[in-house]
Amino acid sequence: MNYQIAEKVALITGAAGNGLGRADALALAEEGVKIAIVDIQSSEETVSLAEAKGVKAKGYVCDISNTSQVNEVVSQIEKDLGAVEILVNNASILSTVGMFAEIDPKKFNRDIEVNLIGTVNVTRAVWPKMLQNKWGRIICISSFAGTHGGAGQTSYSTTKAGVIGFAKSLALEGARFNITSNIVSPGVMKSEAAQKFIRGDMLDRMLKKAAMRRLGEVEELANVIAFLCSKQASYLTGQVIEVDGGAGLFTF
């Protein structure tokens, strides 16, 4: 299917590593989209993989919780590639796992600074040009923890629930400017983050909750994101799309 987004400029946060963000970037590169990777670490490998698909791609090192850094990077992207038309707010961290009473408040706050405030910072920086050009696609990555909560993940769940409210509000404000804003909520995927924090008995329990009884492939999530950026999805906005193998269904 021709998504009719070739030559658009996409900014994807948190796409340096071999995880969801990289898969998102490569899925959009397949559609001929120019790729800007914003990550706290070097994204040379992702950039090379995107360029191999025949598109322009550049990486930018930035802490998205730092407003001034974000503004500088977005200005540079506009000079290098053009105004950002597609934004995938993928970057997030999970600073700590544990019961709420035991969590270090500084780590709790750091999750909020990156996952929620960082998402707001990047969106704020690209929003004016989207309004001006009367076109934009915003996809915020939430989580099963954001829609259903998670014991031992209060900070992460809080930020991912906040992202949903933020993206839905943007959908309302952007609708008359041809800007769509949607949320993709993945279940347990085959990603670096999942391998780091979810294993053993926890992984077994989560797999049993999913109707499909397997981990999701990062490409399965990325394909949904590419569709949400397409012309074909132009009437779809303010939605939470759960890509979780049926984890939200009643299973037994």
Residue closest to 190 by CA, chosen among 180, 199, 181: 199
CA–CA dist 72, 205 (Å, integer): 43
Query: 194, 18 in Cβ contact below 8 A?
Result: no
DSSP β-bridge partners for residue 211: none
Catalytic residues: 156
Nearest to 144 by CA among 135, 153, 132, 134: 153
> Maximum CA pair distance of the chain?
54
Which residues, in sequence order, are bridge partners of residue 216? Answer: 189
In whole angstroms, give the CA distance from residue 30 to residue 219. Answer: 12
